[in-house]
Structure 1
Amino acid sequence: MTTHATPLAEAAPKEPAPVEKPGRDRYFDLLRALALFRVVLYHLTGWAWLPLVFPSMGVMFALAGNLMARSLKRPAGQVIRGRMRRLLPPLWLLGVVGVTGMVFQGWGPDADGHPGWWLLHLTFWIVPLSDPPYAEGLPGVHGFIGENWAADLAGPLWYIRAYLWYVLLSPVLLKALRALPVVTILAPIALAVAFEQSWLTLPGERIPSALTDFSTFGACWILGMAHQEGILRRLPRYVVPSVAPVIALAGLWYALHHDFGTGNDLDSMPLAQALWSFGTVFLLLHLSPSWKEWPRRLRPLAGTITLLNSRAVTIYLWHNTCILIAATLWDQLWGFPLLEQNAPGLLESVWPVLALVWVLIGCCVLAFGWAEDLAAKQKPRLWPTGEPRLRTRGSRRRAAPGG
């Protein structure tokens, strides 16, 4: 017997399909983990070719720009406050330890002869709109940490300052990107050219330093935003593979013609860094497979990659200090004649020191990483290899990644 649908059944509205919330992009998580590892290796070894193999800072800024554009679907003020809340507590912990140590070793208002300016500049350890100050030439602790340790501790802070300014400028950059995408993406590189050719010069150090960082990595941040906005996907498929290598090779050509090598690599060549990072990031975003789940081959590394992403700020802030401590401790082995005579190659090798560096970084994650959870309104965890959970009143729910 044939049945027919009733008119009521025909008129019944279909249930709306559930809206899938955006999840973590595991490809981006992998890039961020690789970037962190490369940063640590480079700062330990100083190998000039490492930034060419993988331009970590450009990648990290691009990924941050991507997340910022996604977050800006909410009110801009709310997003900026959230980003600052996530960024600043780990910096404050570094400042509590570092500035206290500097003061104990004699650093103070009279160190530079300008007590008022010293106190004013200390506020940059609270909100790093400019580079926080630090003591220079401090003695080390024999057998534990080398001299001038404050300079190593403060070394990564330029990234925090640059990141904060990108966050503050992102609402304006996003509007400009939507209105004039090509002009907005290329504007930082044009600024880098202007600085390099001395067409634009500014007095002082703080403002030129901030603008130089913007000109060097601003295009990468905006590329990340463009990827999130779908602007890159609207390009014909042949454009990026055709254009990106040319831009990257232009940066390499410039570096090779300006005495590229150890002690004079991309980090000391803002224009070359800008071009190489832009071209490489452009390709990486173009190839983006958008993994919602880990590919089978990467699943054994999923916990480690998640840990690196969950503690990215802590690792970046403390890795220079860990390198200095590891190198100082390893140098003590030269005092054992048996090792000096029979295993000089081991004592000179970088790989045992690298392993010790990561052990110390792990200790910093345990000691200070919880600040990232509190800043993100998550339950503090010592060793976060799984997905976080938000701290809520009366119930717990999974954290929305990238919020």
Structure 2
Amino acid sequence: MSWEQQGYQQQGYGYGYGDGNGQEYGGHEQPQYAQPQYVQPAYPQQTCPQQQYVDYGQPVAVEETAPLPPVEPEPEPEVAVVGEKPAGEAAEEKPPPKPVGRDRYFDTLRAVALIRVVTYHTFGWAWCGMVFPSMGIMFGLAGTLMAKSLERPALKVVRSRLRRLLPPFWFWGFFVVLAMLVHDWMPHWEIAYWIVPFGDPPGNQWGVQAWEILWYLRTYLWFVLLSPLLLKVFRAAPVPVLFLSLAPILVLTFVWSGPEGRLGNEMWDFSTYLFCWILGFAHRDGVLRRMKPALVVVLSFAAVGYGGWYAFSHQGEVGTYDLDEIPLAQAFWSAGFVMLLMWAKAYFAIDFAWLTRFRRLDRVVTVFNARAVTIYLWHEIALILAVPLIDQFWNVPAFEKYLPLESQWFMFGVGWVLIAVFVVACGWVEDVAARKKPKLLP
């Protein structure tokens, strides 16, 4: 089965903010006279017109980049100028609206998810998925972005997602396929899956560590293609559809295990993360925000509890409690975990705006989100190359004496250095796919 989980624009999420502090001006006070009757002033009374402000409303998510998944940026809303200037007065320029920013809460979740994926693939700790179920979080964020994007024509949105996803995949795949061909791999017609990964692309055992991560792109692609239909079904009956989205994984686990081969793998992965994707719809449409806090907490802890119990009670069958190896446990643990994160975001309006005060940290989060596809695709190759590179360090006496060459933590550090190299060397492909000017760093 798929490896654990674990990817922002989405790509990321932006917010606009309104003024909201309009001020009203009334007329002049009437003068007081000794006579009981009202005396009209000799000059015409002037009244300052009420200054009007535009209400920019609630924050609107703006998609800029694809973290996993790639998305098109939304156009900024037009600002209408309300009210006229009094005659004879110099026209006052209305201050421009604050620039649209990014939702740093979702950006931070995406960045942490990518870090957790690299950590898991370095150390192989089974508990990583329970501490932070990266893949469930990534699918939840992608579902939210997709629901926002589908406010535009569905065909345009799907084409945009494919355009954002496929060029980085092709660029990465060229080197992987070429390396496998050099190592005696001869593909058949199935090489078509290296063009559009509707199914798992083929490969030989020599390159399996590099291409086994493609299950995420394949599953994401199917979610994108089916989202117009899924969103219509969800909006017809939001709460029932949300909870029924757990039914497919229950059927595959207890009733019918599905067919063998590519189709079976696709069904299992799609069913495992269907709830998280639909949960993204629920967050975008405000369904989670309207749910009672007590109900959300009870359901979330119940799902996490059942997923954890199932993982530990069935570890004898697969030899581990790793959620990546137990799809039903993964589905329920991710469902409860992601529901709590999404609900907290909606209910408490968490935005992590404070992150912008820490320039370096904010910069790191920005790079992770703008280069999420690159980091995800190239991180395994970076870890693979770290091994022979560290082997060469043993030939340098000073390195052998002072560096912890046998430590996995050292390999972890070298891996991140190589990931940074790939981000600089290959990340520009994401800019090209997004029809932006290529940059070494966003």
* TM-score, scaled relative to structure 2: 0.75
Change in Cα spacing, 1:21 to 1:183, as seen in structure 2 (3 Å) is: closer
Matched with 1:105 is 183
Within-5 A mapping of 1:74-223 = 74-109=152-187, 118=188, 120-136=189-205, 148=206, 150-197=207-254, 199-223=255-279
**Residues 158-210 of structure 1, C-alpha deviations (whole Å, 9 max, x = no match):** 0000000000111111111111223322334211111111x123333111111
Work out the percentage of aligned pairs sharing the same amino acid: 45
2:378 is aligned with 1:318? yes
**Who wins on radius of gyration, i.e. which is larger?**
2
Residues 14-29 of structure 1: pairs in structure 2 closer than 5 A:
16-17=54-55, 22=61, 23-29=101-107
Q: Secondary structure at the match of 2:405?
A: helix
Number of aligned residues: 357
Instruction: Structure 2: state its 5+ residue gaps.
Output: 1-27, 31-43, 62-100
1:283 aligned partner, one-letter code: L
Which residues of 2 match residues 236-275 of structure 1 at below 5 A? Answer: 236-259=292-315, 263-275=320-332
Contact 1:24-1:292 at 8 Å conserved across structures:
no
Q: Aligned in 2, Cα 1:346/1:233: closer, same or farther, shift over 3 Å?
A: same
Equivalent position SS for 1:238: helix
**AA of the residue aligned to 2:230:** L
Q: Tell me, in whole angstroms, the C-alpha distance in 1 between the residues paired with 2:344 and 2:269.
A: 26
Question: Which structure exhibits the higher relative contact order, with contacts defined as CA atoms closer than 8 Å and separated by 6 or more residues?
Answer: 1
Letter in 1 for 2:273: F
Do the aligned partners of 2:312 and 2:321 also contact (CA within 8 Å) in 1? no
Amino acid aligned to 1:38: R
Residues 1:292 and 1:4: Cα distance change in structure 2 (over 3 Å): farther
Confirm or deny: 8 A CA contact 2:173 2:194 kept in the other structure: yes
**371, 394, 398: which one aligns with 2:429:** 371
Residue 31 to residue 18, structure 1, CA distance change in 2 (3 Å)? closer
C-alpha distance in structure 2 between counterparts of 1:353 and 1:219, whole Å: 35
CA distance in 2 between counterparts of 1:175 and 1:274 reads: 23
Residue range with higher mean Cα deviation, 21-30 or 319-328: 21-30
1:384-395 equivalences under 5 Å are 384=442
Query: Hey, what's the Cα distance between the residues in 1 that align with 2:412 and 2:118?
Result: 8
Structure 1 unpaired stretches of 5+:
110-117, 137-147, 385-403
TM superposition shift of 1:301: 0.5
Shift in Å, 1:297 = 6.4
Q: Tell me the equivalent position of 1:291.
A: 351
Q: Which has the higher helix share?
A: 1
State the Cα distance separating 1:299 from its structure 2 match. Answer: 4.5
Give, as a single letter, the amino acid of the residue that structure 2 aligns with 1:180.
A
Cα distance in structure 2, aligned partners of 1:347 and 1:266: 30
- How far did 1:21 drift? 5.1
Q: How far, CA to CA, are the matches of 1:48 and 1:4 in structure 2? A: 79
2:291 to 221, 224, 235: 235
Which residue pairs with 1:143 in the alignment?
A: none
Partner of 2:134: 56
- Cα distance change, pair 81–186 in 1 and its aligned pair in 2 (3 A): same
Distance 1:296 1:369, change over 3 A: closer
Is the 2:245–2:278 contact (alpha carbons within 8 Å) kept by the matching residues of 1?
no
